[in-house]
Amino acid sequence: MPRSIPRRLRPDSDVGAAGGLSIDLDATSNWFPPGHRIRLEISSSAFPPFDRNLNTGATTATKGYRRP
């Protein structure tokens, strides 16, 4: 399956709206019985193999500022 083009999420435009997320886990998946809960942490951190992502939508090569 080809990967989709990544896009920046805009939580300010959909405040209070419910959404869905589908993640293909391939061979690393686990099975959880009905009623069990899991926590999913999504991070843009992979330092030092990859440079930091300031989550601003700008490229790290041209922008060096941080956002609070």
Mean pLDDT of 29-35: 83
On the question of pLDDT at 35 being above 80, the answer is: yes
> When comparing pLDDT for 35 and 45, which is higher?
35
Q: What is the DSSP letter of 28?
A: G
Q: For tokens 């700008």, what's the residue?
A: 58
Specify the pLDDT at position 50: 62
Question: In the predicted model, what is the mean pLDDT of residues 1-23?
Answer: 67
In angstroms, rounded to a whole number, what is the distance separating the alpha carbons of residues 35 and 41? 20
| Backbone phi, psi, residue 34, to 5° | -55, 140
